[in-house]
Amino acid sequence: MSQGETLLVETLPNPYYEKDGITIYHSDCREIVPHLCGVDMVLSDPPYGMNYNTDSTRFSGGEGSHNSQRSRVKGDDAPFDPTPWTSFPKCVLWGSNHYSQRLPKGTTLVWQKKNAEKFGVMLSDAELAWERGGHGVYLFRAVWDGCARETEHGQHYHPAQKPVALMAWCIQRNEPKNVLDPFMGSGSTLVACREFGIPAVGIELEEKYCEIAAKRLSQGVLF
Burial class (CB within 10 angstroms; exposed 0-12, middle 13-18, buried 19+) of 55: middle
Closest C-alpha among 172, 146, 152, 168 to residue 212: 152
Strands 179-181 and 126-141: unpaired
Angle at 158 between CA 49 and CA 169, to 5 degrees: 85
Q: What is the pLDDT of residues 17-29, one digit of tens each?
A: 999 999 999 999 9
pTM for this prediction: 0.83
219 pLDDT band, cuts 50/70/90, is confident
pLDDT of the residue at 35: 92
Q: What is the pLDDT of residues 150-195, one digit of tens each?
A: 556 556 777 878 999 999 999 999 999 999 999 999 999 999 999 9
**Backbone Cα Rg of the chain:** 17
Q: What is the pLDDT of residues 49-86, one digit of tens each?
A: 765 545 544 334 455 554 444 555 666 577 899 999 99
Q: Is residue 43 scored above 60 in pLDDT?
A: yes
Is 46 in a helix, a strand, or coil?
coil
The class level of CATH for 8-217 reads alpha beta
Buried/exposed code over 80-90 (b: 16+ C-beta within 10 A; e: otherwise): bebeebbebeb
Cα 59 to chain center, whole Å?
A: 25
pLDDT of the residue at 124: 84
Q: For the chain, give every domain's residue range.
A: 8-217
As a whole number of angstroms, the distance between CA 168 and CA 123 comes to 24
